[in-house]
Amino acid sequence: MTVEVFAPAKINLTLHVIGRRTDGYHLLDSLVVFARDVGDVIHVEAADRLELTVEGPFRKGVPTDETNLVVRAARHLQSLRAVQAGARLRLEKTLPHGAGIGGGSADAAAALKALALLWKVPPPTPAETLNLGADVPACMAGPAPMRMRGIGERLDPVPPLPPLWLVLVNPGRHVSTPRVFSLLGSIRGADALSMDEMRMGWDFEAFHAWLSGQGNDLTACATEEVAEIGHVLEALRSSPGCRKADMSGSGSTCWGLFKSAAAAHRAAETLAHDYPQWWVRMTAIN
């Protein structure tokens, strides 16, 4: 038996940092969406012990030992459900890593879902995966859009979104998440605001008007660290049909919002041609 599970890219359309706990963890408020057809793929099959292999264009530098979040997630599920069996896991890595689109977390969530099917055990709840990382619960609960709060443990459904198309662009530069958060206070100041409430029945224009009033509190910090993020955002905002552009997570992947698939497709083609060193993908969101 072989089980295959898609691990879609996770995109933060908003990201507000609204506080910090005494243990140092930052409190977030974010609208999270998932790419319909851009992501990694996990394959699992029965084996005597846990094994991980990685292939694909972004396999370089991805560990296959216990430091990989996929392996840690598998060990976690074994412990949670008292599983004695092993598994052979194969990861097709097509998402850039350390890119702010939840690649490692999406892979871990996909592995948990696949292994639960293989081992015939209940998959862990999102709350049972928080110790694996702040984005893992959301990736477990996806791919429906959701509001993520706290340190990733508060997940709530949001009103249905209108059809949206995104162009994702990564300049090929890694951003240190701890460094970005360390810069937050000095760059943004103390104006911590929660995400504005969402309403039912929005069409594209109403959603765009709401989204235009939001933002990512980490964009300025990440751009301070990696100037290429600013170049990516400028290129996206200059693309015909792009209605808004911002960064996802702590970077360095950025997104541009488009009203039509045709406009998004043209923009992605142009950006990929003009900046061949960048990773560029077009997607709809689920």
Looking at the fold, whether 114 and 246 belong to one and the same domain comes out as no
- Higher confidence at residue 107 or residue 22? 107
Looking at the fold, whether 138 and 208 belong to one and the same domain comes out as no
- Does 103 carry a binding-site annotation? yes
- Does 99 carry a binding-site annotation? yes
Q: Using an 8 Å Cβ cutoff, are 42 and 107 in contact? A: yes
Dihedrals φ, ψ of 41, to 5°?
Answer: -135, 135
Q: What is the pLDDT of residue 188?
A: 52
Domain count along the chain: 2
CA angle, corner 285, sides to 11 and 62, nearest 5? 45
The 3-class SS string of 74-85 reads: HHHHHHHHCCCC
Of 10, 40, 93, 246, which one is the catalytic site residue? 10
Residue that finishes a domain, picked among 97, 129, 157: 157
Looking at the fold, whether 146 and 36 belong to one and the same domain comes out as yes
pLDDT at 93 over 80: yes
Looking at the fold, whether 126 and 145 belong to one and the same domain comes out as yes
Would you call 200 exposed, middle or buried from its count of C-beta atoms within 10 A (0-12, 13-18, 19+)? exposed
pLDDT at 49 over 70: yes
- Does 19 carry a binding-site annotation? no
Structure confidence by residue, pLDDT tens digits, 221-271: 999 999 999 999 999 999 999 999 999 999 899 999 999 999 999 999 999
Q: What is the pLDDT of residue 192?
A: 62
- Does 142 carry a binding-site annotation? no
How remote is the C-alpha of 129 from its chain's centroid?
16
For residue 261 the two structure tokens come to: 């698939």
Q: Is 93 a catalytic residue?
A: no
Q: Tokens 């662009």 belong to which residue? A: 169
Look up the CATH number of the domain holding residue 123: 3.30.230.10
Look up the CATH number of the domain holding residue 273: 3.30.70.890
Of 107, 135, 217, 246, which one is the catalytic site residue? 135
CA distance 14 to 272: 25
- Which residues span the domain enclosing 104? 2-157
Looking at the fold, whether 56 and 179 belong to one and the same domain comes out as no
Looking at the fold, whether 127 and 17 belong to one and the same domain comes out as yes
Looking at the fold, whether 27 and 52 belong to one and the same domain comes out as yes
Task: Give the count of beta carbons closer than 10 Å to the beta carbon of residue 212.
Answer: 11
Q: Is 10 a catalytic residue?
A: yes
Structure confidence by residue, pLDDT tens digits, 153-193: 999 999 999 999 999 999 999 888 888 988 887 555 445 67
Averaged pLDDT, 8-26 = 92
Q: What is the pLDDT of residue 186?
A: 57
Averaged pLDDT, 53-60 = 97
- Does 39 carry a binding-site annotation? no
Looking at the fold, whether 231 and 121 belong to one and the same domain comes out as no
Q: What is the pLDDT of residue 137?
A: 97
Residue that finishes a domain, picked among 157, 184, 205: 157
Looking at the fold, whether 170 and 71 belong to one and the same domain comes out as no
Residue that finishes a domain, picked among 157, 176, 208: 157
Dihedrals φ, ψ of 258, to 5°?
Answer: -130, 150
Q: Using an 8 Å Cβ cutoff, are 231 and 201 in contact? A: no
Looking at the fold, whether 113 and 145 belong to one and the same domain comes out as yes
CA angle, corner 198, sides to 195 and 199, nearest 5? 165
Looking at the fold, whether 207 and 247 belong to one and the same domain comes out as yes
Cα-Cα-Cα-Cα dihedral of 58, 104, 146, 143, to 10°?
60
Looking at the fold, whether 229 and 260 belong to one and the same domain comes out as yes
